[in-house]
Amino acid sequence: MGMGYTRGVEQVSIFDREGYSPAFFAEMWEKRIARQTYHKYTKDDWPEAEFLEEEEIELIERKLTELKEKRKQTPKHLPLQELPEEERFRQLAPTRKQFLDTIKMIAYRAETTMSTIVRKVLARVDEARSLIHEIFTPEADLIPHEQEKTLTIRLHHLTNHLSDQATRVLAEELNATETL
């Protein structure tokens, strides 16, 4: 191994003649730990291709660092006037906005009603709305049954047993009232 080739090497060991051991050096060679002796029984240099690969990796890492720096300098917020005309947001039509507001209000009322149902089970009443959010945040399995015209929703376990129990009470209430 030549003196200047230490890229990709974590450690260099230097031995005098008394520390020479072909078996030990072979083991270190496999681990890519460089070793140097007084040129007694030296082994061939590492293949040049391995150093070229290392140079490619360093080049890619430098480019990645430059791109990250460029991203840091990109503004996070742009005034609407600075956006190109084709990328600007269109203002919602009044009827469309009313429709969306109606959907939001229905969702809020449904959330409030479900919170009222789970409050019966919870130790702290103020946790009801948080629990409803916890129920609807994770993924769930939706299993439609076309003949029965029903939809089975399989929820995954929540953070604790009390949350699971409150969810069970909510599901039983929704099933009993055949809520859509």
Provide, rounded to the nearest whole percent, the portion of the chain with pLDDT above 70: 79
Which DSSP symbol is given to 44? P
Cβ proximity of 14 and 35 under 8 Å: yes
What confidence tens digit (pLDDT) does each residue in 72-114 have? 888 888 887 888 888 877 776 788 889 999 999 999 999 999 9
Domains of the chain, by residue range, sit at: 12-73, 94-176
Q: How far apart are CA 159 and CA 60, in angstroms?
A: 42
Residue 158 in tokens: 């929540």
Q: How far apart are CA 139 and CA 137, in angstroms?
A: 7
Q: Which residues pair with 152 in a beta bridge?
A: 143
pTM, two decimal places: 0.45
What confidence tens digit (pLDDT) does each residue in 142-178 have? 999 999 888 888 888 888 888 889 999 998 998 888 7
CA distances from 95 to 88, 91, 98, 100, 106 (A): 20, 12, 5, 9, 17
Residue 83 in tokens: 């956006």
Q: How far apart are CA 11 and CA 54, in angstroms?
A: 16
Structure confidence at residue 2 (pLDDT): 44
